[in-house]
Amino acid sequence: MAAPPTSVREPGSTGLAVEVTYPLRALLCLLVGMAVMYVPTFTRLAETVWNTDEQGHGPLILAACAWLLWDMRASLFGAPSKPAPVAGGVLLTLAVAIYVVGRSQQVIELEAGSLLLTLTACMLLVVGVAGVRRAWFPLVFLFFMVPLPGVLVQAMTMPLKSAVSVVAEQLMYWAGYPIARTGVTLTVGQYQLLVADACSGLNSLFTLEALGFLYMRVMNYTSKARNVILGLAIIPISFISNVTRVIILILVTYHFGDEAGQGFMHGFAGMVLFGVALILTYGVDRLLAARFDKQGGARGKQ
């Protein structure tokens, strides 16, 4: 005989304990199947794109999604489940097909991206459409784990690097520094600095957008307009942060030499980038609070 689902009492959204029924066998089967499929994928990602400064945020996104799903387990399994086997089966078939193509053709974007569809399909099979609606944020947030396509990176990196170089040059010129620019190469005094791909802002924009979405989820603002404005504000914030990073490297190189600019300060400037971005994001959020908190756009109940 099949073992019955396990029922436990979990704290609900109101803080009171609710009866939660977990279909352990179904969950175990799905977790084992996903592990067989995606552990090799995660291993490959860890050896390639996750091992770079540009897209090293992937494991953090995956861990955040796992934490969010665990945190909402009571709401997912507390209500009576209505599995959608047809929709879940069709979506799972599509996800497996995409995974097979990505795995066989070594297209890591398809291989990793299929996880979004696989996880959604599994939730349809276990808890149904209502559960997927409740878990929409972790499912959407998982998109930031997927590596950026190389074609997109190449197409957007050069324009962004050029824009960062132009703005940094103008600001340093207005500040009285002897600086000139040729393409994305900046000459300050006797030193030349090449604005690298990491300073373009594309990957930091992707990472900062992910952090912004997580911040909005944690804050749980009830105003959609506030969330949209805050999400869009991260785009110029990312650009300003990257310009700040380049200016710091220019100043360090000009005053302390090329070795200082390429040594510890190069990595430290990357930390400054995210520090500036977080400060600006919080500042924009406080400005929005002055308007939206009085209009019912403050934090809601978790």
181-187 mean pLDDT: 87
The tens digit of pLDDT for each residue in 269-296 reads 667 777 888 888 889 988 888 887 765 4
Confidence (pLDDT) at 192: 83
Is 119 in contact with 132 (CB distance < 8 Å)?
no
Confidence (pLDDT) at 195: 76
Report the chain's terminal Cα–Cα distance, integer Å: 39
SS3 category, 188: strand
SS3 category, 194: strand
Residue 210, pLDDT above cutoff 80: yes
Task: Output the CA angle 88-213-156, nearest 5 degrees.
Answer: 95
Pick the closest to residue 248 from 186, 197, 206, 160 (CA basis): 186
Burial 38-53 (b: 16+ CB within 10 A, else e): beebbebbeeebbeee
Token code pair at residue 32: 């084992």
Tell me the catalytic residues.
Answer: 199, 245
Of the ranges 18-22, 64-68, 210-214, which one carries the lowest mean pLDDT score?
A: 18-22
Q: pLDDT-derived band of residue 302, with 50, 70 and 90 as boundaries?
A: very low
Confidence (pLDDT) at 31: 86
State the chain's mean pLDDT as an integer: 81
The tens digit of pLDDT for each residue in 124-143 reads 988 889 889 989 889 988 98
Is 62 in contact with 107 (CB distance < 8 Å)?
no
Residue 267, pLDDT above cutoff 90: no
Question: What residue has token string 């300060």?
Answer: 265
CA dihedral for 149, 151, 155, 160, sign (positive or negative):
positive
Q: Residue 293, exposed/middle/buried by CB under 10 A (0-12, 13-18, 19+)? A: middle
92-106 mean pLDDT: 94
Token code pair at residue 194: 């090449």
Counting other chains too, the contacts that 287-290 makes at CB distance below 8 Å and 24 or more residues apart are 288/226, 288/229, 288/230
What's the length of the chain? Answer: 302
**Maximum Cα–Cα distance for the chain, whole Å?**
82
